[in-house]
Amino acid sequence: MTTPLRTEQQTAADQETIRSYLDRLRLDLVVAARITKVHREWSRPLQPDPFTRLYLILEGEGRLVVRDQELYPKPGELVYLPADVPVSYETISDNVFRKHWLHFSALIGDRDIGELLTLPYIVPSKAPEEAAALFEQVGAADRDPPGLATPLRLRSALTALFAHFLDSVPPGDVRLSPQQTSESEIVQYIQENLATLPSVEELAGRLGYDLPAFLRHFRTEFGLSPKQYIKRAKIEWAQRELAATARPMEEIAAAVGMDQSYFSKVFRQVSSVTPSAYRKLYR
């Protein structure tokens, strides 16, 4: 039987895995459009697309089907339609949709975000006017004359829009896809044993891998080597403790398996400031 503590630990591990995935997310625009009012015959049968869609409904009504779910988005709502998932749509009255829309790719490494994370298909925008402005910024960046900085501006605008979508998602509604359970278990083990982690070879064995397979798997899933990931996990945990508690520095260092001198050195390498400076900055 799962205990409440175990459930809480697993949730924390899931969130850490999700954060590590989003840290590697790359968004690239496929097609951007300004506001569009669909025609009365707007419809198509259930079929997948090789790209992700994002809408902001401004007015009107219509029907979407994603896999086997029927959806009726309303004005002010954001609609996320993942790549490679069957989608159909149609009008249901003369009061047709007027919406912002765009198509884009959303890759984590070489895998689509939908393979790794489950996101809600419809969420109310936390600020529809802000969302509309962000759609406009993507369109404006897409229409910029080509230049050295154009791809950066476009990706920045698209990232800000997708961040708005994620910020609008209710807490807990971004989840790991079912096949990512093993990744969450790896993260959970590391988070629970920051002070006493064995060597990478021993860690691989405890998690059921031989060393070469573990290194390949880790690099593919997290974009880092195990040593790099563990170092970052220790310092990020320490950052949270420094910002939220008054625990002595040597106690925090010991909790991640380091003496204070080495802890300060590694912390500065990762954070660009000393632990004491970080605490002053965030408290």
- DSSP track, the chain: ---HHHHHHHHHHHHHHHHHHHHTEEEEEEEE---EE--TT-EEEEE--SSEEEEEEEE---EEEETTEEE---TTEEEEE-TTS-EEEE--SSS--EEEEEEEEEEETTEEHHHHEE--SEEE-S-HHHHHHHHHHHHHHHHSPP-TTHHHHHHHHHHHHHHHHHHHSPTT-SEE-GGGHHHHHHHHHHHHTTTT---HHHHHHHTT--HHHHHHHHHHHHSS-HHHHHHHHHHHHHHHHHHH----HHHHHHHTT--HHHHHHHHHHHHSS-HHHHHHHH-
C-alpha–C-alpha distance, residues 26 and 49, integer Å:
18
Question: pLDDT value at position 54?
Answer: 98
**Token reading at 184:** 């969450």
pTM of the model: 0.76
The predicted pLDDT at position 263 comes to 93
- Measure the CA angle with vertex 15, ends 13 and 20; round to 5°: 95
Q: Which of 271, 237, 265 is nearest to 251 (CA)?
A: 237
pLDDT of residue 182: 66
Phi, psi of 80 (to 5 degrees): -110, 125
Q: Give yes or no for a contact between 113 and 22, defined as CB atoms under 8 angstroms apart.
A: no
- Give pLDDT, residue 1: 36
Whole-angstrom distance, CA of residue 21 vs CA of residue 223? 9
Distance, in Å, from the CA atom of 262 to the CA atom of 222, rounded to the nearest integer, reads 25
**d(C-alpha 218, C-alpha 144), whole Å:** 39
85 alpha carbon, distance to own chain's centre: 19
Q: What is the pLDDT of residue 208?
A: 86
- Pick from 159, 123, 132, 169: which is nearest to 29 by CA? 159
Instruction: Name the CA radius of gyration of the chain, rounded.
Output: 22
Give dist(CA 211, CA 199) in Å, integer: 11
Q: Which of 100, 158, 88, 170 is nearest to 129 (CA)?
A: 100
Strand pairing category for 87-90 and 63-66? antiparallel
Which pLDDT score, from 0 to 100, does residue 6 have? 40
pLDDT values of the chain reduced to their tens digit, one per residue, 283 residues: 344 444 555 577 788 888 888 988 999 999 988 899 999 999 999 999 999 999 999 999 999 999 999 999 999 999 999 999 999 999 999 999 999 999 999 998 888 999 899 999 999 999 999 999 999 999 999 998 888 888 999 999 999 999 999 999 998 899 988 766 667 778 888 888 888 888 899 888 888 889 999 998 888 888 889 998 899 889 989 999 999 899 999 999 999 999 999 999 999 998 899 999 999 888 7
